[in-house]
Copies of this chain bind each other. A is one copy, B any other.
């Protein structure tokens, strides 16, 4: 019954309902107004995400979401010849995969609000420290992701959004505007701290609100309790045609 907002992405989306997570904060902000669905898949790149598209966003006329965030790139940008190369997707293919995703979303619902989110920046010392803590001496000598490479993917993501006329959030740039972003926003050089989650949350709400999804202006699904008369509660529910 309620409008649906779908968060489609990788682990940064999948983990977004942890304490302080940006997905949970969105769900709370749109409480009683829209349902927020977590469709985050840890480790996935855009190439693998394409296999899920028709399942998550069917074209069969079932109720389509009013909005979707598309938040990939952190895995696509893993470097060739390093420990995470299985997840690597060349940047031109990344861009074309995002194009296919946007095209599919628009087919599933012409009025859908699509927001592309770039990968966050990468803190290479943070990644290295994380790898050492997990793998000890076996940790890779060379980083499996670099901040420069994440920036290349982020730029392609933003360029595509402009080309297609959809909205985007350049998280890679935004986070680096703040001194100490490496520890403030990233827990292991790649995933988000609660403060990092807050940045994503604020940016998404800003973009949604600038479009046509201002949470303050959306109606509640059912009457606020203060509208219900103690002696005559039926009155507040009459319009529901019970």
Known: A19-B25, A51-B237. A87 touches B41 (CB 8 A): no
Decide if A242 is an interface residue (CB 8 Å cutoff): yes
Contacts of A234 in B (CB 8 A): 51
Q: Residue A17 contacts which of B15, B24, B228 (CB distance < 8 angstroms)? A: B24
Q: Could you mark each residue 90-106 of chain A with 1 if its beta carbon is under 8 Å from any beta carbon of chain B, else 0? A: 00000000000000000
Q: Closest CB of chain B to A102's CB: distance in Å?
A: 20
User: What is the size category of the interface that chain A forms with chain B?
Assistant: 35 or more
**A84–B226 alpha-carbon span in the complex (Å):** 11
B48 contacts A41, C-beta separation under 8 Å? no
Q: Residue A54 contacts which of B52, B194, B233, B242 (CB distance < 8 angstroms)? A: B242
Q: Residue A37 contacts which of B35, B43, B222 (CB distance < 8 angstroms)? A: B35
**A20–B14 alpha-carbon span in the complex (Å):** 16
Q: Closest CB of chain B to A158's CB: distance in Å?
A: 25
**A226–B87 alpha-carbon span in the complex (Å):** 10
Known: A51-B237, A54-B242, A225-B43. A31 touches B20 (CB 8 A): no
Decide if A47 is an interface residue (CB 8 Å cutoff): yes
Decide if A216 is an interface residue (CB 8 Å cutoff): no
Decide if A138 is an interface residue (CB 8 Å cutoff): no
Decide if A203 is an interface residue (CB 8 Å cutoff): no
Q: Closest CB of chain B to A68's CB: distance in Å?
A: 15
Decide if A44 is an interface residue (CB 8 Å cutoff): yes
Contacts of A228 in B (CB 8 A): 48, 86
Decide if A38 is an interface residue (CB 8 Å cutoff): yes
Contacts of A240 in B (CB 8 A): 51, 55
Decide if A18 is an interface residue (CB 8 Å cutoff): yes
**A54–B237 alpha-carbon span in the complex (Å):** 12
Q: Closest CB of chain B to A230's CB: distance in Å?
A: 4
Q: Which residue of B lies closest to A197 (CB)?
A: B19
Closest 3 CB pairs of A and B: A43-B225, A24-B24, A86-B230
